[in-house]
Amino acid sequence: MDRYREELKVRHYARRTIFTYAHWVRRFLRFHGMRHPREMGKQEINAFLSHLATVGQVSASTQNQALSALLFLNRQPKRLPVVFTVAETREVLQRLQGTEQLVAQMLYGSGLRLMEALRLRLRVQDLDLQARQLIVRSGKGDKDRVTVCPASLMEPLQKHLLVVRQIHQADLAAGRGRVVLPKALGRKYPNAASEWGWQWVFPQAHRWRDARTRTEGRHHIDPSVIQKAVKRAILRAGINKPASCHTFRHSFATHPLERGQDIRTIQELLGHSDVKIYACAESRPLRGDESGRPSVANRTSGSRTRPCLRHPRARVGKSLTLEGGQGMIMVSKASYAAGAPCAGWIPDPSKYC
Give me the pLDDT at residue 274, please.
62
Query: Distance from first CA to last CA of the chain, Å, rounded?
Result: 55
Residue 127 — φ and ψ, nearest 5°? -100, 125
> Which residues, 6+ apart, have CB-to-CB distance to 27 below 8 Å?
48, 66
Give me the pLDDT at residue 325, please.
39
Question: Which of 232-241, 265-274, 340-349 reaches the highest mean pLDDT?
Answer: 232-241
DSSP 175: T
Q: Which amino acid is at 206?
A: H
What is the overall mean pLDDT for the chain? 76
pLDDT tens-digit profile of 314-338? 443 444 333 333 344 344 444 434 4
pLDDT tens-digit profile of 130-154? 888 888 887 777 788 888 888 889 9
Least Cα distance to 309 among 273, 277, 265 occurs for 265
- Strand 127-128 relative to strand 133-136, pairing: antiparallel
Give me the pLDDT at residue 156, please.
92
User: Helix (H, G, I), strand (E, B), or coil: what is residue 105?
Assistant: helix
Q: Is the pLDDT of residue 344 over 60?
A: no
pLDDT tens-digit profile of 245-261? 999 999 998 888 887 77
pLDDT tens-digit profile of 14-51? 888 889 999 999 999 899 888 887 788 788 888 899 99
Average pLDDT over residues 161-185: 88
> Which residues, 6+ apart, have CB-to-CB distance to 92 below 8 Å?
84, 104, 230, 233, 234, 237, 239, 243
pLDDT tens-digit profile of 82-101? 999 999 999 999 999 999 99
User: Percentage of the chain surpassing pLDDT 70?
Assistant: 74
Average pLDDT over residues 292-318: 35
Average pLDDT over residues 286-309: 33
Give me the pLDDT at residue 75, please.
76
Give me the pLDDT at residue 7, please.
84
Neighbours of 326 (CB within 10 A): 16
> 222, 182 in Cβ contact below 8 A?
no
What is the spatial distance between Cα 191 and Cα 189, in angstroms, rounded to a whole number?
6
User: Percentage of the chain surpassing pLDDT 90?
Assistant: 24
Q: Is the pLDDT of residue 286 over 70?
A: no
Give me the pLDDT at residue 253, please.
87
**Domains of the chain, first to last:** 2-73 (1.10.150.130), 86-224 (1.10.443), 245-351 (no CATH)
Between 345 and 161, the higher pLDDT residue:
161
Least Cα distance to 66 among 104, 25, 102, 32 occurs for 25
